[in-house]
Amino acid sequence: MSSGPQRLVFGRVAELYDRVRPAYPNELVDQLVAWVGADARVLEAGTGTGKATVQLAQRGMEGVGVEPDREMARVALRNLAAYPGWRVDVADFEEWQPRADDPLFDLVTAAQAWHWIDRDRGTAQAERLLRPGGWLALFAHEPEFENSPLRVAIDEIYADLAPEPSAQSRAPTEIVPQSSAFGSPIELEFRSVVEYTTQEAVDLSRTHSDKLILPPERRELLLSRLTETIDAHGGVYREHDVCRLWAVQRR
């Protein structure tokens, strides 16, 4: 995986992450079901706390979640307790090995996680573990920031207290190489507008890796200034969310 230890910071806030991170659009899950069927076998890279995994399980899919952080995997296992057709293995996706009785998978997914995975090794792993005709589907929330006074004020806080480059989520098309094993890519997007209270917005910020790696005093100052700023602008932060899906079919 890429970005070294930064990919493993989420376990520090696993319970908060599970509580405040958004789920994925039902329309996106509908599309995955349309491609592979509700009885598909799934391999999920970077399961996290199982936000997307549970949505797939609710549709009838079964499979394996692969998660490198033990604390995140613990929460995912708890969330999947009602779905005995799922297990969570603690491992890096690129190095994970299936059990002898694991069949080839119908679907390999990564929700908000592919940017942490070495793209060449991750793609080779998906090629190896997908059945012919199976799908590799990568998706992620990517907010589009409006040019509002509140957003300008928030950006000024980040520029002041968190200016260092960080490993942020990027569109899957930017990080997945072409491969002769797959067909032509399909790209879809699902748009929504989400409103957060001050506390919800600050709690969400607490789960972002670039905030988690800040020195504690600077992180708390940043969060305090975010709280004051959102409160001063009415106590509501409005975000335009774009959930992008990138998918290819195994030849």
Radius of gyration from C-alpha coordinates of the chain:
18
Closest CA to 140 of 245, 10, 22, 248: 245
Asked if residue 112 has pLDDT above 70, the reply is yes
**Two tokens, residue 42:** 């799934």
pLDDT in tens, 92-105: 999 999 999 999 99
Closest CA to 194 of 128, 144, 135: 144
pLDDT of 169: 46
pLDDT of 76: 98
d(CA 188, CA 139): 9
pLDDT of 6: 80
Q: What is the mean pLDDT of the chain?
A: 93
Can you give the pTM of this predicted structure? Answer: 0.92
State how beta strands 130-144 and 236-249 pair. antiparallel
Residue % of the chain over a pLDDT of 70: 92
Region 205-226: mean pLDDT is 96
Asked if residue 175 has pLDDT above 80, the reply is no
Residue length of the chain: 251
pLDDT in tens, 131-172: 999 999 999 999 998 889 999 999 999 999 987 654 454 555
74: Cα separation from own chain's centroid: 17
pLDDT in tens, 49-66: 999 999 999 999 999 999
